[in-house]
Structure formats: C-alpha cells, structure tokens
Amino acid sequence: MAEANVDPGSGQHSLKRVIGRKVLLLFVVGDILGAGIYALVGKVAGNVGGALWVPFLVAFVLAALTATAYAELVGKYPQAAGAALYTNKAFNIPFVTFIVAFAVLMSGITSASAAARAFGGDYLAEFVSIPVIVGAFIFLGLITLVNLAGISESVKVNVVLTIVEIFGLLVIVAIGIYALIAGDGEPSRALEFHPANGAFLGVLGGTALAFYALLGFEDSVNLAEEAKEPQRDFPRALFGGLAVAGVIYLAVAFTATMLVDTKTLVDSSGPLLEVVKVAGLAFPPKLFALIALLAVGNTALINMLMASRLVYGMAREGIVPRVFATVHASRATPWVSIVFTVGVAAVLVATGDVKNLADTTVLLLLCVFAMVNVAVLVLRRDPVDHDHFRAPSWMPVLGALVCLVLVLPITGRAADVYLRAGVLLAIGALLWFVNRLFLSERKSAS
C-alpha cells in the first residue's frame, strides 16, 4: 500500500515520485490510444471519404507542435497543474489562470463522459442490451474506485489496459497486412478523396475531429510531481508516445477504409468491429468488442485520474479552495478532488451524447493549447537553474496559429458545441467570482 510523503514546509501530505520512464511512456500511449480511434474512424471518413488517414496524419503533425511546448514547460516546472501553472507563471492574471485551468478540467471530464457514453454503443451490444446511461454510470463508478485506490494502483491498471488496447489495434493492423497479401479489400479506396465541403474545409473538419483521437499527451504533465525524473523522462515519453500512436493510427485508418465501405464506417458506433467482421483473418468479434470496451475504459480512467490531479494542483497553487488539496493519509490520493470530478462527470453523462461531448473536449483543449504555445514563448524570459528541453521557437508559434484556426466554425463544428463550451466556461467564471467574494468577506471579517 502506497503511503503519502509529508511536505516538511507545510506539514501536509504530498504525492510520491513513483513513476518511471517506461511506465510514463505507456501512460502517454494509453492516454492517446482509446475511445477516439475505436469510435471515431467512421466519423472522420464522413468528412473526407476513403482517404481518412489524411486527417489523422495532419492531426498528428499539429499535435506534435503543441507537444514541444509542453515538453519544454514540464521540464522547467515539474509540478502538477499543467497548463494552469504555465499560464499563471507567464501572465500572472488570476482570472485567466482559473479559466484555463477550468477549461482543462472540463475537457478531461467531458472526454471521460464521452467515453462512458460510448461504452454503451455497438461494442457493448455484442454482449448485452441495457440503457446507455445505466452502463455509463456503472462504468463511472468502477473508474472512481480504481482512482481512489491510489496512483500506483491506477497506473498499473492503466498499463494493463494499454497493453490490451494496443493489442486490439495491432489485430486490426494484422488484418490489414493479411488482406494485402491475400488480395482482399480495396486498397485504392484509401486514395479516394471525397470531401464533404471542398478539399480544404473537408480536411480541416476531419482534422478537428481526428484531433480528439490524439488528445491525451497533455494529460501526462499533470503527473510531474509523481514522476521520478521529469526533466529527462517527459520529453522522451511525450514524443515517443505521439510517434507510436501516430504510426498505429495511420495503419488502422488504412485498414479500415480498405476493408469496409465508407458509408458503413460512417454509420457505425463501433467501426473497427465492422473491420473484424469482414476480415479474411478470423478473429472473434466478441473478443474484439471486449478489447474495445477496455480501451474506452482506459480513456475514461486516465481522464478522470488527470482531472482529479489538476484540481489538486490548482488547490496547491491557491486557485481553488485548499480543501481540494487534501490527500488521503494512507492511499496517497487527492480524494476530495476525485469526488468532485466524478460528480461533474455524472451530470455530463446524464445530459450529453458522445459526439457533443467529444467535440466539446476538442474545442476547450484547442483554446488551452493556443494559450500554452504563447506561454512557452513568454516564459523564455524566466530561466531556471537546471537543464531542460527547449522547443524551436517556430514550433509553438505555428502551434498557436493552427489551434486558433481549428477553433473557428469553418471546421463544420455544430453550434451547440460552442454553446456547451460557453456554458461550462461561464459556470467557471461564476465560481471564480463567488469564490473571490467569499474570500473577501472572510478577510474583512478577520
């Protein structure tokens, strides 16, 4: 059983440095792979036709630009809180820091909620037919128990699920290789480019959606206080994880479009299951459905794990009430933050659907990524006394511009997605002002 460290300065329990480089790499890969690729391949195809690998390739390149900013910043400031910490150090405007932190928090919870809703789709239907919301709530409960058990236990579960979900994607890749050797399928379909709204807007819309499948690399920086050697290990884990995920995604996208017609992919909530069902290389559909469910579960676990750590980090920085920094004495987990984040997730699960929640996740994080890319440049004037990775300046500049473009409605994003994101941020702003008023009244009373 893990025990919390005690901070000599404050007397509070602090997080343990228990995560090594290999586990961190698996964590990044596991955070990227999951619900996105298992559920959204068909939706991306709806934007560009058979050449659905193109948006995934573009999304990978764009994600790599922002990853360089995160790699530099986590090396300079190896603390929990991620983007909120960087924004606070760069601009020192408490309200802006809070909104960025709240946007990241909501993006993690909306992503986990989307995964919970996806849990009840075509993959689960291979085993049992129950209301989606019932399965989602049971699913959230199990994820919460793992999160409360401890970081070591949570990461171990993540490692197992990561291996399972990678195996599932490698099955798809093996099916594709076998199909090419046997002469099955239609490889030429991977070159069919039929954008719904013209070439530029079609790729842009597909890329904005494919970006959801590549999210997750930014979550790992919130484990900075629990990594053994963050300055050395995080850049390797970030870039290595992105590279592994990118190669797998391109192979899976090519296989899917080669073996299954575009309309079938678009209409299915379990597109990779369609690939397995038509494959010449036999693989039990129920077994693959189980693998897909575990992959979706991994997405939710990591997002809820990171959301709770983000709230914890915000509390340590004094952005939200200190009660959220409370760490369980024996389990070494931020239990108050965990209870709060699962409560928000439950509300989202009850009121949203998979597509809206996924689109909201992307929209919120693109805004955050733009801010992080600017922050890394601003913080160049704040040198530190230890070595760390330094990104070429043109990469965060380009990264910020790209993120701002992908935020625009020209991507084809539905209006209700902007409304949902706006409401969530408005709630955050309201909480901020209420909290400030409460603190002011307490200060006056004392």
Average pLDDT over residues 376-385: 89
Average pLDDT, the chain: 82
Closest CA to 222 of 359, 331, 108, 388: 108
Q: Where are the domains of the chain?
A: 16-445
Q: Which residue has the tokens 């990561």?
A: 162
Q: Which residue has the higher pLDDT, 331 or 397?
A: 397
**pLDDT value of residue 222:** 64
Q: What does the pLDDT look like over 263-300, one tens digit per residue?
A: 888 888 788 999 999 887 788 999 999 998 888 887 78
pLDDT at 143 over 90: no
What whole-number distance in Å separates Cα of residue 142 and Cα of residue 121?
18
Q: What does the pLDDT look like over 11-20, one tens digit per residue?
A: 444 556 656 6
Q: Which residue has the tokens 């592994």?
A: 244
Q: What does the pLDDT look like over 78-88, one tens digit per residue?
A: 776 678 788 98
Q: What does the pLDDT look like over 144-190, one tens digit per residue?
A: 887 777 666 666 776 788 788 889 999 999 999 998 888 888 888 88
Q: What does the pLDDT look like over 212-267, one tens digit per residue?
A: 888 877 777 766 666 677 677 788 888 888 998 899 999 999 999 999 988 888 88
Q: How confident is the model at residue 363 (pLDDT cuts 50, 70, 90)?
A: very high
- The percentage of residues in the chain with a pLDDT greater than 70, rounded to a whole number, is 86
Which class is domain 16-445?
mainly alpha
pLDDT at 120 over 80: no
Q: What does the pLDDT look like over 20-32, one tens digit per residue?
A: 677 778 778 877 8
The DSSP code sequence of 183-230 is T-S-GGGGG----BTBHHHHHHHHHHHHHHHHTTTTGGGGGGGGBSSH
Q: Which long-range contacts (CB under 8 A, 24 or more apart) does 158-162 make?
A: 158/26, 158/27, 158/30, 158/298, 158/301, 158/302, 158/305, 159/23, 159/26, 159/27, 159/30, 161/30, 161/294, 161/295, 161/297, 161/298, 161/301, 162/26, 162/27, 162/29, 162/30, 162/33, 162/298
Q: What angle do CA 109, 299, 231 make, to 5 degrees?
A: 90
pLDDT at 130 over 50: yes
pTM value is 0.82
Q: What does the pLDDT look like over 398-439, one tens digit per residue?
A: 999 999 999 988 888 888 889 989 988 988 888 787 767 766
Cβ-based burial of 422 (10 A; exposed 0-12, middle 13-18, buried ≥19): exposed
CB proximity list for 312: less than 8 A, separation 6 or greater: 80, 324, 325, 327, 334, 337
